[in-house]
Amino acid sequence: MLILGIDTSCDDTGVGVVELTDAGQVRVRANRVWSQAIHATYGGVMPELASREHVERIDAVLEDALNEAGVRVADLGAVAATNGPGLMGALLVGLSYGKGLAQGLSVPFYAAHHLEGHIYAAASEADLRAPYLALVVSGGHTHLFDVPREGAYVLVGATRDDAAGEAFDKVARLCGLGYPGGPAISAAAERGNPDAVPLKEPLQGQSGFEFSFSGLKTAALLATQRGVNPEDLAASFERTVVRSLVKTTVRAAEHHGRRTVVVSGGVAANRALRAAFAATGLNVVFPGKGLNTDNGAMIALAGAAAIRAGRAPSDLSAGATAYAPLANA
Ligand code: ATP
Ligand code: FE
């Protein structure tokens, strides 16, 4: 069965196609993302502009995705779209579009939680089956979930302040690097000396599983005022964030007795983070290329998981939710 996935939760118009075989295997057939450049001039995402760009672009992105997969719209067996969390107007574009398509084709529709999409992005790389632990590190989230069984999410810990991706973006700005900050810091860090700017690891010695990045951001600001080398600061900042994420996640995995850990969201693209997790000895699964940041294929993968688990399709009358915590157990 071919499943279409749509994500328009923020400033990326994402459409993907995933194939679910009768044996329950999934394969990403297409993943097309239109990233809105219009917001760069404003230094942040303008919600109303985002909605309008989604409306203007979604037809073309769908066509691109179908072409990439080599299928026609009539071949689709199900449609999935993000219903939250995200920017309300932006969400509504993709959600309404997906519902309309499903209704027009007389195929089932599945509403998907954006973070569930980020987690299932890892299903492109491994046959993902609960139980496992999931760390979502993105622009808006640093959340650790225990997934004891399919579709059940127990919040184990989260950031007390900034999300990891947000911290990367802010420190990149302080260092005079570009946006998005993650890739810029990562590239600068490779040329820097992480020992040149000492930064304290946040929440050291805690018994819980929380994260905190705002203190690091302040320390970075003070360091730039002292005139440190931006590449050294990038290297030190990246190493400190990576250590905090990996140590806390490893402790949580031990605490919950999980051997498999999914690490997903935009920050999961970070090479230093991947290397540090690979060295833990745990079975760590990352999303495939192009599936870390917002995209439609991850939503199609979440839809595929819902279908595989025998979940009932969503009600077409259900709306979008700007604020929607994933934890349900
Ligand atoms: P959310 O899903 O929480 O609503 P989002 O969808 O905006 O947030 P994503 O698209 O998943 O977030 O990720 C974007 C974030 O990932 C940005 O903050 C960006 O800086 C960060 N990021 C991307 N690539 C890297 C990288 N190589 N290293 C570190 N961070 C990265
Ligand atoms: Fe996201």
Q: Please name the residue whose Cα sits nearest to atom 27 of ligand 1.
A: 270
Q: Please name the residue whose Cα sits nearest to atom 16 of ligand 1.
A: 266
pLDDT in the model for residue 329: 60
C-alpha–C-alpha distance, residues 98 and 5, integer Å: 8
Q: Quick one: what percent of the chain has pLDDT higher than 70? A: 100
Domain boundaries, the chain: 2-121+291-308, 130-285
Residue 285: which of 117, 127, 116 has the closest Cα? Answer: 127
Q: Are strands 132-137 and 260-264 parallel, antiparallel or unpaired?
A: parallel
Cβ contacts of 42 within 8 Å, gap of 6 or more = none
Q: How far is the first Cα of the chain from the last one, in angstroms, to the nearest whole number?
A: 30
Indicate whether residue 239 lines ligand 1 (CB < 6 A).
Answer: no
> What CATH code is assigned to 130-285?
3.30.420.40
pLDDT tens readout for residues 245-270: 999 999 999 999 999 999 999 999 99
Segments of the chain scoring below 50 in pLDDT: none
Q: Can you say how many angstroms the Cα of residue 149 is from the centroid of all Cα atoms in its chain?
A: 20
CA of 115 to the centre of ligand 2 (A): 7
Indicate whether residue 266 lines ligand 1 (CB < 6 A).
Answer: yes
Indicate whether residue 300 lines ligand 1 (CB < 6 A).
Answer: no
ipTM of the complex: 0.99
Q: Which ligand is nearest to the CA of 268?
A: 1
pLDDT in the model for residue 179: 76
SS3 state at 288: coil
What are the helix (H) ranges across the chain?
47-69, 88-105, 114-120, 164-174, 181-189, 214-225, 230-256, 271-278, 297-308
**To test the ligand 1 pocket, which listed residue (144, 294, 298, 299) has its Cβ within 8 A of the most ligand atoms?**
294
> Do the beta carbons of residue 28 and residue 124 sit within 8 Å?
yes
Indicate whether residue 165 lines ligand 1 (CB < 6 A).
Answer: yes
pTM: 0.97
pLDDT in the model for residue 180: 79
C-alpha–C-alpha distance, residues 13 and 273, integer Å: 27
State the CATH class of domain 2-121+291-308: alpha beta
> Do the beta carbons of residue 208 and residue 195 sit within 8 Å?
no
Indicate whether residue 36 lines ligand 1 (CB < 6 A).
Answer: no
